Amino acid sequence: MDGCGEYAAALAAFVLAHVLPTRPRVRLRLTVVAGERRYLALYSLVSLGNYLRERLEAAADDRSE
């Protein structure tokens, strides 16, 4: 995948991971199934994971140049 494709995929993953779980119906279902605290913990872990993945990829790109 070229640089633009990787960027588009990362952006799509970021947006979906932040928009979908916050939709009222989706959030309600997730909180009913998992509970509020677990929902917030999982949401935070997904956000942190996306951030760390992006930083690690950027660091790897910097080393390869």
pLDDT of residue 1: 59
Residue 62 falls within a domain, yes or no? yes
pLDDT of residue 46: 86
Residue 60 falls within a domain, yes or no? yes
Residue 7 falls within a domain, yes or no? no
Residue 11 falls within a domain, yes or no? no
Count of structural domains within the chain: 1
pLDDT of residue 12: 87
Place of tokens 């790109």: 61
**What are the residue ranges of helices labelled H in the chain?**
3-19, 24-34, 36-64
pLDDT under 70 in the chain at which residues?
A: 1-3
Tell me how far apart the alpha carbons of residues 15 and 13 are, in angstroms, rounded to a whole number: 6
pLDDT of residue 41: 94
Containing structural domain, residue 37: 23-65
The residue type of 64 is S
Residue 49 falls within a domain, yes or no? yes
Q: Global pTM?
A: 0.66
Residue 43 falls within a domain, yes or no? yes
Residue 10 falls within a domain, yes or no? no
> Residues 1-19: pLDDT tens digits?
566 887 788 788 888 888 8
